[in-house]
Amino acid sequence: MADKILSGISVATGIAIGKAFFVNRNHKAHLPRQTVSADQVANEISLLHDAFALVEAELSATREHVPAELKDYGLLIDTHILMLKDPKLSGTAEEYIKSLGLNAAWALEKAVADQEAAFGAIDDPYIRERMQDVRVVADKVQAKLIGHEADLEALSGRAIIMAHDLTPADTVELQVDKIMGFATVCGGKTSHTGIMARSLAIPALVGVDKLEDYVNDGDLVVIDGLSGKIVVNPTDDELEEYNERAAFFEDYSRKIKRHCQLPAETFDGSRVKVMANIELVEEVASVIDNGGEGVGLYRTEYAYLNRTELPDEDELAEKYIDLAAIMSPRKVIFRTLDLGADKFISSYGELNEVNPAMGLRAIRFCLKHPKLFKTQLRAILRASAYGNVSLMFPMISGVKEVRQAKAWLAQAKAELRREGVEYDPNIPVGIMIELPAAVMIAEYLAQEVDFFSIGTNDLIQYSIGVDRTNHHVSYLYQPLHPATLRTIKLVVDAAHQAGIEVSLCGEVASDPFCVPILLGMGIDSISLTPQAIPGIKRIIRQTNMHDCRKLLKDVLECRTVSRINNLVMDNIFKHFPDEVSFFTSLLENDEAGS
Amino acid sequence: MNTNNQTNSDGGNVQSRLVIVANEHGLHARPAGKLAQQAQAFEADILLVYDEQEVDAKSILDVLTLAAGPGEKLEIRASGSDAEQAADALQTLFANKFEE
């Protein structure tokens, strides 16, 4: 057995095998505060300038190796180099050495504090944030002054990067050609680690608890971005197995990528739209590269996170217009703000809730804060003039909520019309079905809107009453629970009876084991992470509706999850043997057996 | 774009140009970076004057702390041997919206 197997959240798929390399371990090094005698001042000043020059040379060298797909990161390094050259930083530090007799590291700290004061007075939050870059640059110079080699430069061969957390500034300086994978304790799907890993197509895990306790520099580790695991010091047998899996997966990925632009059409001619879930406008390239037919779920939260003020309408509109225009004529579905106590900007102090998942969030939060809601609606409407835009409201629990949300939309439209601003007056409006209440009244809700989108992640949690991030009960989170399947079917049938389209945008849509069942139900479109699109399109193109309907009929008669899993596995073994090797979620999840 | 050349002050060569921040985001990191980089290429002392603040155009930090938004008017004031070239170059940079 391996020393330890840790689990985390996979943010980029694939398998990497290599030596672990920790960064940022010395981050909190103590800064010496001393004064120097008059005859030492000249020496201290030259130490200061040497340290600046050293860091500049290193950054310039790093800059040379930034690949084209990370252009933005390259520009960030340029900014850092300019800050190093800036007399405001080195010059002021030099002044403090001269006038106060401080040692170089302390003098620089004081110069940084001056800048902090200057930046702190600025209203523009974006510019205020640039202070972080000053800090990063100063840290590097101080590390040189006090003799701590910055971690990253010690990276000699190819390695798997481990860290408590990686800031954007850290990631820009990694020599990307040497990185085989990432694992961090902090971070979510939208962290820079994830975005960077996906754009480089290397496996990465975030949220790996106890990473620092169980992994040491130089340990041999396997990052399995398929199942979300880290294997620490595997045995020879395990290593061999993973080597094979890695090679096999690469082969498979290449093969499916070649056909990803073909339509998602079954053997017997049934078409289903395969769209992408995205968080950032920057992800559109991967949507298009992976054969996505549009954006089925644009999560608009990112623009609101990690900041103290709310974004204004122009800022939002600019992003939304970019997205709509780039994707056009493909469709983009905007989900209105889905935030609440679980994740939000600090200015909303009221959001200190005992039970955030059931509290003031998503549409509830927006209806309580109409100004914020209307700002976003206006921005989405403005984007609708530039592309094929729809919008949908999250976490709807009843008809009245839909009507209230639509009333705000109508008001936003009326305002824009009066102001002579262009928008699509017929913008389709949908709702997310993620509460059992919405399922039970789906036939009424269907009369209020143009489409449904089933959000299975929350729907499963609320239906089974399980928090899937809770280690004690997460085994109960079962996409193939008979209740889950019946729930989804109810919604699909209600939508079709009312003559509206229904899509599904939870993780179930990217699970090759579930997709044939969804097809059997007659789902109109699915939306999933862009990287999973080629694999799912391949599944769809290799099946036929007749088999899918048969499978659906069989699973709907099952009383337990294990029975359903067995049926689904049989089906997959028979029709899609390649997929079985990589997507083992079901095999491992069966213990619930409910 | 306004141009306002004035030569001479204490026998030195002072060049002044009025410019408008025409790019969409104002003097944010990238434009401020380009501006400072360009300014550093000249011998001349170059000041940016905005809203009663005078800052060194060669310092990205100074330029950033001006926080000049889109549509704002600034003055470039260059003095020294290559003041005219410097003022022209920076004025062009503003006119081209920092090539964004």
Q: How far is CA B21 from each of CA A22, A61, A446, B76, rounded to the nearest angstrom?
A: 44, 33, 50, 12
Average pLDDT over every residue of A316-333: 95
- Selected for mutation to probe chain B from A127, A129, A321, A322 (highest B CB count within 10 Å) is A127
pLDDT in tens, A423-460: 999 999 999 999 999 999 999 999 999 999 999 989 99
Identify the DSSP state of A70: G
Provide the b/e sequence for A217-242 (b: ≥16 CB within 10 Å). eebbbbbbbbbbbbbbbbeeeebeeb
Give the residues across from B19 on adjacent strands. B74
Instruction: Nearest by CB to B61, from A78, A89, A123: name it.
Output: A89
Angle at CA of residue A91, ends A122 and A142, nearest 5°: 85
Note the pLDDT of residue A411: 97
Percentages (nearest 5) of helix, strand, coil residues in chain B: 35, 25, 40
pLDDT in tens, A110-122: 999 898 888 888 8
Strand ranges (DSSP E) for A300-418? 331-335, 388-393
Average pLDDT over every residue of A123-133: 76
User: For a pLDDT cut of 90, what percent of chain B falls above it?
Assistant: 54
Query: What CA–CA distance (Å, rounded) separates A226 from A248?
Result: 13
Note the pLDDT of residue A590: 41
Average pLDDT over every residue of A245-272: 90
Average pLDDT over every residue of A294-304: 91
Check CB contact of B59 with chain A, cutoff 8 Å: yes
Instruction: Verify whether residue B25 is a known catalytic residue.
Output: no
Here the tokens at position A485 are 């399947």
Judged on CB neighbours under 10 Å (0-12, 13-18, 19+), A167 is middle
Query: What CA–CA distance (Å, rounded) separates B22 from B100?
Result: 10
Average pLDDT over every residue of A375-394: 97
Angle at CA of residue A535, ends A530 and A539, nearest 5°: 130
In this complex, do A122 and B65 lie within 8 Å of one another by their Cβ atoms? Answer: yes
Q: Are the C-beta atoms of A542 and A579 separated by less than 8 Å?
A: no
Local confidence band at A588 (pLDDT 50, 70, 90 cut-offs): very low
Strand ranges (DSSP E) for A370-493? 388-393, 429-433, 451-454
pLDDT in tens, A205-257: 988 888 888 988 889 999 998 888 999 999 999 999 999 889 988 888 888 88
Provide the b/e sequence for A126-157 (b: ≥16 CB within 10 Å). ebbebbebbebbbbbbbbbbbeeebbbeeeee
Per DSSP, the three-state class of A117 is helix
What is the DSSP secondary-structure string of A223-270? EETTTTEEEES--HHHHHHHHHHHHHHHHHHHHHHHTTTS--B-TTS-
Low-confidence winner among A90-94, A350-354, A590-594 (lowest mean pLDDT): A590-594
Note the pLDDT of residue A589: 44
Does the pLDDT at position B52 exceed 60?
A: yes
Local confidence band at A28 (pLDDT 50, 70, 90 cut-offs): very low
Q: Which chain B residues are within 8 Å of A75, Cβ to Cβ?
A: 30, 33
Does the pLDDT at position A364 exceed 70?
A: yes
Q: Are the C-beta atoms of A221 and A231 separated by less than 8 Å?
A: yes
Q: Are strands B14-20 and B73-79 parallel, antiparallel or unpaired?
A: antiparallel
Judged on CB neighbours under 10 Å (0-12, 13-18, 19+), A23 is buried
Residue A345 corresponds to which amino acid?
A: I
Query: What CA–CA distance (Å, rounded) separates A536 from A291?
Result: 11
Note the pLDDT of residue A150: 52
Average pLDDT over every residue of A13-24: 86
pLDDT in tens, B62-100: 999 888 888 899 999 999 999 999 999 999 999 998 887
Mean pLDDT of chain A: 86
User: For a pLDDT cut of 90, what percent of chain A falls above it?
Assistant: 51
Mean pLDDT of chain B: 86
Query: What CA–CA distance (Å, rounded) separates A222 from A440?
Result: 45
Does the pLDDT at position A26 exceed 60?
A: no
Give the residues across from A187 on adjacent strands. none
Judged on CB neighbours under 10 Å (0-12, 13-18, 19+), A55 is buried
The residues of A carrying an active-site annotation are: 192, 505
Q: Are the C-beta atoms of A474 and A464 separated by less than 8 Å?
A: no
Here the tokens at position A408 are 């705000």
Residue A412 corresponds to which amino acid?
A: A
Q: Are strands A229-232 and B45-50 parallel, antiparallel or unpaired?
A: unpaired
In this complex, do A79 and B37 lie within 8 Å of one another by their Cβ atoms? Answer: no
Highest mean pLDDT among A9-13, A329-333, A342-346: A329-333
Query: What CA–CA distance (Å, rounded) separates A226 from A8?
Result: 11
Here the tokens at position B10 are 């204490």
- Selected for mutation to probe chain A from B24, B30, B61 (highest A CB count within 10 Å) is B61
Note the pLDDT of residue B11: 45
Does the pLDDT at position A594 exceed 50?
A: no
Note the pLDDT of residue A306: 59
Low-confidence winner among A161-170, A346-355, A465-474 (lowest mean pLDDT): A346-355
pLDDT in tens, A59-110: 888 888 777 666 667 777 888 899 998 888 999 999 999 999 999 999 998 9
Name the more confident of A76 and A588: A76
Identify the DSSP state of A150: P
Give the residues across from B9 on adjacent strands. B12
The count of other CB atoms within 10 Å of the CB of residue A270 is: 16
Q: Are the C-beta atoms of A202 and A15 separated by less than 8 Å?
A: no
First to last CA, chain A: 30
pLDDT in tens, B34-51: 999 999 999 999 999 998
Note the pLDDT of residue A351: 54
Average pLDDT over every residue of A314-322: 95
A-chain residue closest to B24, CA distance: A318
Note the pLDDT of residue A584: 53
Residue appearing with tokens 């199942």: A227
Low-confidence winner among A19-28, A375-384, A432-441, A462-471 (lowest mean pLDDT): A19-28
pLDDT in tens, A554-577: 999 999 999 998 898 888 888 887
In this complex, do B59 and A130 lie within 8 Å of one another by their Cβ atoms? Answer: no
Does the pLDDT at position A1 exceed 90?
A: no
Note the pLDDT of residue A190: 55
Local confidence band at A396 (pLDDT 50, 70, 90 cut-offs): very high
Average pLDDT over every residue of A493-505: 97
Query: What CA–CA distance (Å, rounded) separates A189 from A11?
Result: 6
A-chain residue closest to B31, CA distance: A79
Residue A414 corresponds to which amino acid?
A: A
pLDDT in tens, A450-478: 999 999 989 999 999 988 766 677 778 88
Per DSSP, the three-state class of A23 is coil
The count of other CB atoms within 10 Å of the CB of residue A476 is: 18
State the catalytic residue, choosing from B16, B19, B27, B28.
Answer: B28
Provide the b/e sequence for B9-45 (b: ≥16 CB within 10 Å). eeeebbbbbebebbbebbbbbbbbbbbbbbbbebebb
Name residues 315-334 of chain A within 8 A of B (Cβ): 318
Note the pLDDT of residue A198: 74
- Dihedral sign, Cα of residue A187, residue A193, residue A199, residue A204: negative
